[in-house]
Amino acid sequence: MDGNRTRTFVMGDIHGAHKALAQCLERSPFDRERDTLIQLGDITDGRDEVFECVEELLKIKNLIVLKGNHDVWFKTFIDGAEHPRLWNFGGIGTLQSYQRHMQPDGSYNKERDGYTTSLRSDDIPHAHAQLFERQRLYYIDAKNRLFVHAGYDRNLGFYEQPEDNYYFDRSLWIDTLTAQKGEGRGMPRWQKGPFEEIFIGHTSTTKWGIDQPMTAFNITNVDTGAGHEGRLTIMDIDSREYWQSSLLPELYP
Domain coordinates of the chain in residue numbers?
A: 9-251
The β-bridge relationship of strands 214-216 and 197-200 is unpaired
Cβ proximity of 11 and 232 under 8 Å = yes
In this model, does residue 1 exceed pLDDT 50? no
Provide the b/e sequence for 127-153 (b: ≥16 CB within 10 Å).
ebbebbeebbbbbbbeeebbbbbbbbe
Query: In the beta sheet, which residues pair with residue 225?
Result: 231
Cβ-contact 145, 199 below 8 angstroms:
yes
d(CA 107, CA 42): 25
Assigned CATH topology for domain 9-251? Purple Acid Phosphatase; chain A, domain 2 (3.60.21)
Long-range contacts (CB closer than 8 Å, 24 or more residues apart) made by 53-58: 53/14, 53/16, 53/17, 53/18, 53/21, 54/127, 54/128, 54/131, 56/18, 56/21, 56/22, 56/25, 57/21, 57/131, 58/127, 58/128, 58/131
Residue 194: pLDDT over 70: yes
- Whether 176 contacts 183, CB under 8 Å: no
Residues 6+ apart with CB under 8 A from 125: 102
- In b/e form, how buried is each residue of 63-101, taking b as 16+ CB within 10 angstroms? ebbbbbbbbbbbbebbeeeebebbbeebbbbbbbbbbeb
Section 161-186 average pLDDT = 87
Q: What pLDDT is stored for residue 242 in this prediction?
A: 98
pLDDT of 99 reads: 97
Contact 231, 248 (CB under 8 A): yes
78, 121 Cβ separation under 8 angstroms: yes
3-state helix, strand, coil in the chain (%, to 5): 30, 20, 50
pLDDT attached to residue 189: 62
Find residue 1's DSSP bridge partners: none
Nearest by Cα to 227 from 208, 247, 242, 213: 247
Mean pLDDT (the chain) is 95
Binned at pLDDT 50, 70 and 90, residue 2 comes out as low
Residue 166 to residue 138: CA distance in whole angstroms: 7
Reported confidence tier of residue 186, pLDDT bands at 50, 70, 90: very low
Q: What is the pLDDT of residues 118-161, one digit of tens each?
A: 999 999 999 999 999 999 999 999 999 999 999 999 999 999 99
